[in-house]
Amino acid sequence: MQNETSAVWALVLVFLLTASPARAESSAGLMNQGIQSSLKGDDEKAVAIFKEILSAEPANFYAYNNLGMVYAKIGKADLALESYKAALKINPKFSMTLNNISQIYKQRGEYGEAETHLKKAIQEFPSMEIAHANLGEIYLIQKRYDEAIEALGKALELKPDQPQFRLMLTKAYEGKGLDAAARKEFELYDQLKKKP
């Protein structure tokens, strides 16, 4: 889980540094401090830093997204949702936030909302493998196996070395009754899990 969290934060930094150079220049240092604080487990400090950025830059959707990520991490789903909605109000096409808000809806069992946000994220950023995988998981939960197989296949096309995607695809194949395909995927999953 720590590796997944680190990967998401790395993606946030990539978005921050590539999508808005002017904004990145003015707040990248603080943003990085907030991210590092959260990665080290000092989420209270991370919240304070992101709020500091927002007091100086109220239209900084990156800071709202990151604040939402910290709130989600510490189990404050309502505050996370509020932060994500604020980010989307500023930039309704920000795929990272669209992906992140879908996870709150998934936790609440609001699969239609989760699916809608993930489809928007994919529309804005078609190569965002985590959004494809999350969409596959939403379908898997609902036993929509054909759609799960398609979405997870796309995620694996984009990132074939992700064991978690392979495990979900295994479950989708099992649900569909495709035992040979499920075994093959599980073997690939097992091989990837053994890699350092």
The pLDDT > 70 percentage for the chain reads 87
Which of 117, 99, 105, 60 minimizes the C-alpha distance to 81?
105
The reported pLDDT for the residue numbered 26 is 60
Which tens digits make up the pLDDT trace of 28-39? Answer: 788 888 988 899
Q: Look at residues 37, 47, 45 and name the one whose alpha carbon lies nearest to residue 9.
A: 37
Q: With contact defined as beta carbons under 8 Å apart, do 135 and 115 qualify?
A: yes
Domains of the chain: 2-125 (1.25.40.10)
Enter the pTM of the model: 0.83
Q: What confidence category does residue 8 fall into, taking pLDDT thresholds of 50, 70 and 90? A: low
The residue assigned the tokens 């907030």 is 34
How far apart, in whole angstroms, are the C-alpha atoms of residue 124 and residue 83? 20
Q: How confident is the model at residue 22 (pLDDT cuts 50, 70, 90)?
A: very low
pLDDT-based confidence at 1, cuts 50/70/90? very low
**Cβ contacts of 78 within 8 Å, gap of 6 or more:** none
pLDDT at site 71: 96
Read off the pLDDT of residues 75-116 as tens digits, 9 standing for 90 and up: 999 999 999 999 999 999 999 999 999 999 999 999 999 999
Residue with tokens 């939960």: 141
Query: What are the structure tokens assigned to 82, written together?
Result: 């509020």
